């Protein structure tokens, strides 16, 4: 299999949702987000899906083995994966990274790089706590960076905008602490293998994309 195989990491609000589709389109590769894979397996009632649903229904986290199994299933059966993939949301721990390495070695595939979107925590807090959403359409605004024409009102319909309950500073700071504790060792693990591409993601999305393109060109 030729193609581009990468892991995309970044804290909440760093822009993964903006950049992943651009990478997917440019390289014609699959975007494997952990949550989407889980939902797909559960919906299709595969063996992995049934097992995962049982665990989730009990309020527990799905095991590393199940997630690795889902990734293997995608690599074998998803035609988009023949050109490569973006892994999003996995691995979150060094143990998971080692299990992913073992799977890729078994399938004779090699990871090109780990793209890390780096943004200062305080900027992320400003980005996320200012987010406003029009519930019916999903259109999003930002009080500071992309304000609606009329405060708290959707530009298209004139209906009220809302702020998501988890888009608050306290919740976000907790998520960021967890993110740094979990992700720093994973990033160090890949740095040790020379598989790391740091991206300064506090800039405009177009500038971030230029950096990502340049980084991926080096590892093709």
Q: CB-based burial of residue 6 (10 Å sphere; 0-12 exposed, 13-18 middle, 19+ buried)?
A: buried
Both structure tokens of 124: 């992320």
Is position 5 annotated as part of the catalytic site?
no
Instruction: Please tell me which residue in 82, 173, 175, 195 is annotated as part of the active site.
Output: 175
Is position 54 annotated as part of the catalytic site?
no
Residue 185 annotated in ligand binding: no
Residue 63 annotated in ligand binding: no
Residue 125 annotated in ligand binding: no
Residue 89 annotated in ligand binding: yes
Q: CB-based burial of residue 133 (10 Å sphere; 0-12 exposed, 13-18 middle, 19+ buried)?
A: middle
Q: Report the distance separating Cα 196 and Cα 187, nearest Å.
A: 7
C-alpha 75 chain-centroid distance: 18
Instruction: Please tell me which residue in 5, 24, 92, 99 is annotated as part of the active site.
Output: 92
Q: Report the distance separating Cα 151 and Cα 147, nearest Å.
A: 7
Is position 131 annotated as part of the catalytic site?
yes
Residue 175 annotated in ligand binding: yes
Instruction: Please tell me which residue in 50, 164, 191, 193 is annotated as part of the active site.
Output: 164
Residue 186 annotated in ligand binding: no
Residue 190 annotated in ligand binding: no
Residue 17 annotated in ligand binding: yes
DSSP class of residue 83 equals: G
Alpha-carbon torsion, ordered 173, 128, 164, 133, to 10 deg = 180
Instruction: Please tell me which residue in 5, 16, 99, 127 is annotated as part of the active site.
Output: 16
Is position 16 annotated as part of the catalytic site?
yes
Is position 164 annotated as part of the catalytic site?
yes
Residue 183 annotated in ligand binding: no
DSSP class of residue 80 equals: G
Give the catalytic positions in this structure: 16, 92, 131, 164, 175
**Numbered residues of the known binding site:** 13-18, 34, 39, 60-62, 89-92, 96, 131, 140-141, 164, 175, 203
The annotated binding site for AMP is made up of 34, 39, 60-62, 89-92, 96, 164, 175
- What residues form the annotated binding site for ATP? 13-18, 131, 140-141, 203
């Amino acid at each position: 299999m030729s193609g581009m195989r990468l892991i995309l990491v970044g804290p909440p609000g760093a822009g993964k949702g903006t950049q992943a589709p651009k990478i997917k389109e440019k390289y014609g590769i699959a975007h494997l987000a952990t949550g989407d894979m889980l939902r797909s397996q559960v919906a299709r009632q595969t063996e992995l899906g049934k097992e995962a649903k049982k665990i989730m229904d009990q309020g527990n986290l799905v095991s590393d083995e199940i997630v690795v199994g889902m990734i293997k299933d995608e690599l074998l059966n998803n035609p988009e994966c023949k050109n490569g993939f973006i892994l999003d949301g996995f691995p979150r721990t060094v143990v998971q990274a080692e299990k992913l390495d073992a799977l890729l070695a078994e399938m004779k595939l090699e990871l090109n790089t780990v793209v890390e979107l780096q943004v200062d925590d305080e900027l992320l807090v400003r980005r996320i706590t200012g987010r406003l959403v029009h519930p019916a359409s999903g259109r999003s605004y930002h009080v500071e960076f992309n304000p609606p024409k009329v405060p708290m009102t959707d530009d298209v319909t004139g209906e009220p905008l809302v702020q998501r309950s988890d888009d608050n500073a306290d919740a976000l700071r907790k998520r960021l602490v967890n993110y740094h504790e979990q992700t720093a060792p994973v990033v160090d693990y890949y740095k040790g293998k020379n598989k790391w591409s740091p991206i300064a993601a506090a800039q405009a999305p177009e500038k971030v994309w230029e950096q990502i393109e340049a980084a991926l060109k080096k590892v093709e």
